[in-house]
Each structure stands twice: as structure tokens, then as C-alpha cells.
Amino acid sequence: MKAKKHLLEVEACVLGTLIAHEKASASALEVLSENVFTTAAHKAIYKAAKGLSMRFEPIDTLTLANELGKNGDSDAIEEKGYLKKLLGKAASKMAASYVAMLKEAHLRRELKVIGAWLQEKIEDETQGYADINRELERKIYRLKESAGDECMHPIKTALGKVIKQMENTGNTPEGISGIPSGFSALDRITNGWVKGSITILGGRPAMGKTSLLLDIARRVAVEFDMPVAYFSLELSVTQVTQRMMSSLSGIETRHLQIGKVTSKQWDTLHDSMDGLSKSQLFIDDTANLSLFEFREKCRVLKANANIELVLVDHIQLMKHSERRMQNRDRELSEICKGLKGIARELDIAIVASSQLSRAVETRGGDKRPMLSDLRESGALEQDADLVLFLYRPEYYGITEDWNGKDTEGIAEVIVSKNRFGPMGTAELKFDNRTSSFSELKDNDDDSAFDGVRVEDFF
């Protein structure tokens, strides 16, 4: 009983704040829905405030009373002067905490409903596990929406966010609006990883997709001090860590695996590991990972560490649910759509590697990959926001590029699809000994577009 009374007090404080403080009300109206309130009166008042806000009208006791009358909800406010009483409970400094408390309480009520449903289904022996699990996944997935996150945003609020983002971008040394990749040549084309988006990195086996993802994860976590999650569906956490250690120290991975390291190399290894050990880099090596498991892990990481970038190696090894679909093309499409939904829900950027079909090998010429080479390309090509291809000419015995330049140790990251900007090619240096990438420095050219094919922009 005390808990219920306390919750009603919190609801009253939030509603009072909506009336008294314009800035606090704008923030609360963005993230709440009337469903988080427990009484008919509070639901009606919030609904009226929301309506006024959408029409850019002021929210006060007079406008609210008028709006309640228009909505036919005047009878819901039984006590005269209740709106003025709410005004007296306003607490702008605690508004964010109270809003969070309302959302938490609403989520718990929704979970109770799901729990009761689940218990009923478990006791019903006619219900199969797979059917129950699929429906449970759908209910959990819809839980965030039922918690009150609205998709309707006033243009006034959106404009403010964009202006603030522009100001922040202009003040950053990198001058990019997205999450940096750690490779400036690539960022000049992509403008960084965009939150809420999914990027597909395609390449043939042994081209270096895993190495590039590992280098991106390490650089973002260490050099830019951002929380990063790396999901390895193929390599164990030990193998992933060894490859990162090799990239950082310059010691070959096979030497690390067998412990063949000199005393000098031990010193180098120790020095190079300092930044990595202090970083917020999280590695998950769950094999056969389902989309539902991935979503839950990301939610936990977002809540506990506020991750901004998630990398997946690789998407073909992920499954949509516990039971694989017979049509793999359709399943991969659903996985890609699911990843995009998770990216938007958690406001993170997701980069996933993908294998390319064997058509690359059978094709003549320089064997440079194209969109149609993506396995199950209809799904990935359509649903991805950004499609990159990793290509190393020397892998195919091509020793010179179209301009007569030596291709030894050169890797191209080809931006073949970009919903947010231009397409082009970024060139990186590839070290075959440590399977690592680094910036390509051209000493003969001090152009700001070092390592970028400018002509590919147009």
C-alpha cells in the first residue's frame, strides 16, 4: 500500500513539473506515454499536456483545464483545484529521476503481465517450447514500446538536437558527426559510424575482415575512450585477445600462441597492453548466437556501460531464433532488420562482417567486389545503411594498381553503399605478419585526402 501511495506521489510530481517548467516538460513528454500513469485522472492530465505540447501551446492550469474539457475528461478530475495542487508538487531538479521511476514501475507491471502469461503457457502441456519462446521474444521486444517511448517528435525538439549536434561536431578534432572508426581515411568518406545504423563489411575469406573489425574495436575503445562491444561468433575470446595483442605489439600471433617471446618483446608487450587493459572493450564469444540473445546482451551493456559501438563477426553465423528458418535468405533478411531495430532502439552503431560469394573468384579482371557478391545479397544490400568491401589486390597477384602504383601491403576499403553521404575508396596499410591495419601515409603528398580516392566521390 505504501509503495502504491509513493508511486502516486511521484506521478503527481511529474505532472506538476509538466505544468510549472517548460524545459522539464519537453524532456518528459518525449519519453513518457499515458500508460505509465496508474489513475484515470493522471492519464487524462498527461494526455491533455501532450496534446498542448504537440500544438506548441503553453501548458498551465488554465490551458490544461480547457483541454480536459475538449477531451471530455473533466469528470476524471474529481477534486476542484487538483491542477493547482499538482503545481505545488513541481520539482524540476528531480524531474529526470521521477520520470525514470515511472518508467521502471511501468516496466515492472508489464513484466508481471508477461510472467503470468508465461506461467500459464508453461503449465499448458499442449503448448510447444518453440511456439512459447517465439511469442515470448515478441512480447519482450514490444516491451520497450509499451514502456512509453514515442516515435512522434515535435520539429522544434528535432531542430534543437540537430543544431546541438552540428555545434559538437564542429568542435571535435576529427570533424566527424559519427563514431570514429580509428582510420581517418575511411572517416573522411563515411563521416564515422552513424548511431542507429547498421554497416556491413564484406570480403572473401583471408581478406582480413576479422582483423579490420578487431583494429576498429581496439582503436575506438583505446584511442577515443568509447565503450565498445565485440561479438565473435567464430573465434574464442582467447584468440581474439591474442590477435589484438599481436596488432598492438607487432609480435606475430603464432609466437604469442606458443609463448615464443623474447625478454625485449615481453617489455614491448607489457607497455602496449596498458591502454587496452584500461579500456571499456567487451568481448562475447557465444557461438550460435540468436538475435534475441544478442539483443538482451546489448541491452545489458547499454544499461551498464553505455556502449556506443557494437561489432559482429560475422552475420552469417548468427541465427534469428532457436529454430533456424528453412529459407536462409529470408532469415538473414530478418536478422539484418533486427540488427537495425536494435541499433535504433539503443542508439548505437552496429558493424557486422559478411562473407562474399565465390562469384568473386570465378570472375575475370581485378576481382574487385561488388554489391551482388554479398551472400544472400538481396537482404543485406537492401537493409544495410552502409556497405563496405575489403579488397587486397596482392591477394590475387595484382602487383600494380590502375595508376602503376605498387600494391604490396595495400588494402582498399570500398564504400559501395552509403545512405548518409558519398561513396569512395579508402586505402589502408596491411601488415601480413600481425594481420593488422594502419593508416597509409604518402610522404609525397600532404593532401588532406591521403589514402582516399577523391575521384570515387563523384
246-263 in b/e form (b: 16+ CB < 10 A) is bbbbebbbebbeeeeeee
pLDDT at 3 over 70: no
Q: Do 312 and 215 sit in the same domain of this protein?
A: yes
C-beta separation of 426 from 412 below 8 A: yes
Contacts 24+ apart (CB under 8 A), 236-244: 236/285, 237/283, 237/285, 240/214, 240/283, 240/285, 241/283, 243/210, 243/211, 243/214, 243/435, 244/214, 244/217, 244/218, 244/276
pLDDT at 229 over 90: yes
Average pLDDT over residues 240-255: 80
Q: Kindly report the pTM of this predicted structure.
A: 0.64
CATH code: domain of residue 295: 3.40.50.300
Better-scored residue on pLDDT, 22 or 365:
365
Is the residue at 127 inside a domain?
Answer: no
Q: Do 92 and 188 sit in the same domain of this protein?
A: no
Is the residue at 165 inside a domain?
Answer: no
User: 443 pLDDT band (50/70/90 cuts)?
Assistant: very low
Identify the three-state secondary structure at position 416.
Answer: strand
The residue range of the domain holding 54 is 2-106
Average pLDDT over residues 220-232: 93
Q: Do 182 and 94 sit in the same domain of this protein?
A: no
Indicate the residue among 106, 126, 144 that finishes a domain.
106
pLDDT at 162 over 70: no
Indicate the residue among 58, 86, 106 that finishes a domain.
106
* pLDDT tens for each residue of 397-417: 888 877 778 888 899 999 999
Indicate the residue among 79, 106, 133 that finishes a domain.
106
User: 442 pLDDT band (50/70/90 cuts)?
Assistant: very low
pLDDT in the model for residue 446: 41
Q: How far is CA 84 from CA 5, 39, 57, 63, 87, in A?
A: 20, 18, 19, 12, 5
Average pLDDT over residues 55-59: 79
Of the candidates 243, 174, 284, 262, which has an alpha carbon nearest to the alpha carbon of residue 431? 243
Is the residue at 123 inside a domain?
Answer: no
Is the residue at 69 inside a domain?
Answer: yes
* pLDDT tens for each residue of 90-131: 776 666 778 888 888 888 888 898 999 999 988 888 888 878
Q: Do 100 and 182 sit in the same domain of this protein?
A: no
CATH code: domain of residue 10: 1.10.860.10
Q: Do 212 and 69 sit in the same domain of this protein?
A: no
Is the residue at 209 inside a domain?
Answer: yes
C-beta separation of 375 from 355 below 8 A: yes
Better-scored residue on pLDDT, 76 or 374:
374
Q: Do 272 and 351 sit in the same domain of this protein?
A: yes
Is the residue at 113 inside a domain?
Answer: no
User: 278 pLDDT band (50/70/90 cuts)?
Assistant: confident
* The three cell numbers locating residue 404: 602503376
To which H or E segment does residue 241 belong?
helix 237-249
C-beta separation of 50 from 150 below 8 A: no
Domains contained in the chain, number: 2
pLDDT at 456 over 50: no
pLDDT in the model for residue 308: 93
pLDDT in the model for residue 427: 92
Is the residue at 117 inside a domain?
Answer: no
pLDDT in the model for residue 448: 41
Least confident of 95-109, 150-164, 180-194, 211-225: 150-164
Q: What are phi and psi of 252, to 5 degrees?
A: -60, 140
Is the residue at 245 inside a domain?
Answer: yes
Q: Do 66 and 210 sit in the same domain of this protein?
A: no
